[in-house]
Amino acid sequence: MKTLTRRRKIVNAVMLSLTGVCTFVIVGILFVILGYLFWNGARYLNLDFFTKLPTPVGENGGGMANAIVGSGKLLLLATLIGVPIGFLGGVYLAEFGRGVFPSLVRYTTDLLNGVPSIVIGIFAYTMVVQRMHHFSALAGGLALGVMMIPIALRTTEEFLRSVPQSLREGAMALGASKSRTIATVVVPAAIQGILSGMMLDLARVAGETAPLLFTSFSNRFWSPGWNQPIAALPVMIYTYAIAPYEDWHRQAWAAGFVLLSLVLIVNIAARIILARSSAHHRR
């Protein structure tokens, strides 16, 4: 009896500490990865990186100014496409959505969310690039925008649903129409959550490379307008990382540093907003 208990106690101690080990291994790996990236990236980051265009192949120097602006333009277009459609669709599902059609919309949104990003790239290629007969920032922005829609929609729907019904009823009792209620009462109550969700969505899409490979293509120069191929940070990282030039590797690290910093900052900011909003609601 005593040995049985002792054995069980040992198993207990061992297994529980193993779970702790698992956790700290993962957190440790996180720190190693980020640390390695930041150390390498910071080493090779300089002013040229932010201000100069890429130099001819094999010549050292130059930077990724066009890729940084390019990523910005693509994300702007993606946001202009993804956020309004996702937001309004979420409003529809939360405020008007009972029945077959809304369920269908929910199901296809989840479906769209699960589509691998390379397949979205194929879609944008057949829809935009083949029809327009050139690669463009428009095609790239569209691909990213389509990727943003599902999460924008679900975030909006969830946070709108979490607004207590009493708020709606109060507004309507005061004579406000449904659209007025939504615009002036429900949405503002949920806005912090929705905003944080949109930010997370944007951060996720900022790092996407695959859908850009055959839509926005890439560009060694500045890309005016929306009809030209355009450089983007993730694509540059990919191109430079698999090449043999040491200088390109250094620039890839620097670009990785910039990209990851932006993604993490947006992520952390989004979560802080979310935490503050739920604390506010709990009160």
137-196 residues near other proteins, rule: CB under 8 A: 146, 149-151, 153, 158, 177-180, 182-183
CB of 185 to other proteins, least distance (A): 14
Q: Please, which of residues 27-86 interact with other proteins by CB under 8 A?
A: 27, 29-30, 33, 36-37, 55-59, 69, 73, 76, 84-86
- Residue given tokens 């291994």 in the structure block: 25
- 253 makes contact with other proteins (CB under 8 A): yes
- 9 makes contact with other proteins (CB under 8 A): yes
Q: How far apart are CA 216 and CA 270, in angstroms?
A: 28
CB of 42 to other proteins, least distance (A): 15
CA separation, residue 68 to residues 74, 130, 248 (Å): 10, 26, 16
CB of 46 to other proteins, least distance (A): 19
- 256 makes contact with other proteins (CB under 8 A): yes
Cβ proximity to other proteins, 140 vs 229, nearer residue: 229
Cβ proximity to other proteins, 36 vs 50, nearer residue: 36
Q: Please, which of residues 110-129 interact with other proteins by CB under 8 A?
A: 110-112, 114-123, 125-127, 129
CB of 166 to other proteins, least distance (A): 21
Applying CB under 8 A, the span of 4-12, 44-52, 163-171, 184-192 interacting with other proteins comes to 4-12
Name which position in 6, 43, 134, 280 contacts other proteins (CB under 8 A): 134
Compute, in degrees rounded to 10, the torsion defined by CA atoms 205, 208, 212, 218: 110
Whether 37 contacts 256, CB under 8 Å: yes
Q: Which two tokens stand for residue 271?
A: 């979560």
Cβ contacts of 77 within 8 Å, gap of 6 or more = 137, 138, 140, 141, 142, 144, 145, 226
Supply the angle between the helices 246-282 and 233-241 in degrees, to the nearest 10: 140
Name which position in 1, 100, 244, 283 contacts other proteins (CB under 8 A): 244
CB of 231 to other proteins, least distance (A): 9
DSSP H helices in the chain = 2-44, 47-51, 65-95, 100-114, 117-124, 130-132, 137-161, 165-173, 178-181, 187-206, 233-241, 246-282
Cβ proximity to other proteins, 76 vs 174, nearer residue: 76
Q: How far apart are CA 4 and CA 25, in angstroms?
A: 31
Q: How far apart are CA 168 and CA 159, in angstroms?
A: 14
- 11 makes contact with other proteins (CB under 8 A): yes
- 108 makes contact with other proteins (CB under 8 A): yes
Closest CA to 143 of 232, 50, 27, 43: 232
Q: Please, which of residues 198-237 interact with other proteins by CB under 8 A?
A: 200, 203-204, 206-210, 213-214, 217-229, 234, 237
Cβ proximity to other proteins, 195 vs 228, nearer residue: 228
